[in-house]
Structure 1
Amino acid sequence: MIRGIRGATTVHEDDGAPILQETEKLLREMITKNQVNAEAVTSILISVTQDIKSEFPAKALRKIDGWNYVPIMCMQEIPVPDSLEKCIRVLMTVNTEREQKEIHHVYLENAVQLRPDLSINQK
């Protein structure tokens, strides 16, 4: 069965190093909490808000051993007024036997406010 795993985080500034660091942290957390291996991943989509321009967050995946061949793509989030700033969102599509309620979506940093209902169960 194919399932989507959601995740999001934020950075404090538009700078390459923090963008890669926070994205890698988010991806590793999504992978660990859902026990995902690279072969089970169909693709990963990453969106960023308009205020993130200095680096492709997708590069962070290449720092994780065994994930070189996973298709990944970055795009810009729609600019909704008063939306969360400096936000990186991830949608990882995986083949899994887990039920929808067993998927652990991950929200870090200021992105916790996007889905506080899901963030409560992250521990």
Structure 2
Amino acid sequence: MVRAIRGATQIDSNDREAILAGVTELVGEVMERNRLTTDDVISVIFTSTPDLTAEFPALAARKLGFHDVPLICASEIDVPGALPRVVRLMAHVDTDRPRQDVHHVYLRGAAALRVDIAQ
């Protein structure tokens, strides 16, 4: 069965290392909390707010071993008053878990984005 897993994190600064560290943490938490391996991942869409331009978020996933997983990066729309420096992901995974057992991951300041599903 294919399920979508959402996640987001707020990055400390528009700095290459900060982006890679934050996305590494986010992807790692998504994988751990959902007990996934890279073989379970079908694809991942990353988005970042327009104030994060120092690195592609997908590079962090590649460094974690997502070599054969289709990844893409896009920019979020620039909504006035939106939380700054946020990277979001939507991972499509092959899992037997029912929808209610999928763990969405919202870290750091991004936890405020989805208080209803953040764990």
TM-score (norm 1): 0.93
Structure 1 match to 2:80:
81
Structure 2 match to 1:4:
4
Count of aligned pairs: 119
Indicate the structure with greater helix content. 1
Structure 2 match to 1:105:
104
Q: Unaligned regions of 5+ residues in structure 2, if any?
A: none
Quote the Cα distance in structure 2 between the aligned partners of 1:27 and 1:96: 17
Q: Unaligned regions of 5+ residues in structure 1, if any?
A: none
Quick check: 76-85 or 15-24, which moved more? 76-85
Structure 1 match to 2:93:
94
Secondary structure (helix, strand or coil) at the match of 2:89 reads: strand
Q: Could you list the structure 1 runs, at least 4 aligned residues long, displaced by more than 3 angstroms after superposition.
A: none
Deviation at 1:64, TM superposition (A): 1.5
Is 2:38 aligned against 1:29? no
Structure 2 match to 1:20:
20
Secondary structure (helix, strand or coil) at the match of 2:116 reads: helix
Structure 1 match to 2:115:
116
Counterpart residue identity of residue 17, structure 2: A
| Cα distance per residue 1:47-74 (max 9 Å; x no partner) | 0000001111110012214x21111110
Quote the Cα distance in structure 2 between the aligned partners of 1:35 and 1:87: 24
Quick check: 33-42 or 12-21, which moved more? 33-42
| Cα distance per residue 1:85-122 (max 9 Å; x no partner) | 00000000001111110000000010000011222xx2
Q: CA RMSD, aligned part only?
A: 0.9
Quote the Cα distance in structure 2 between the aligned partners of 1:33 and 1:97: 14
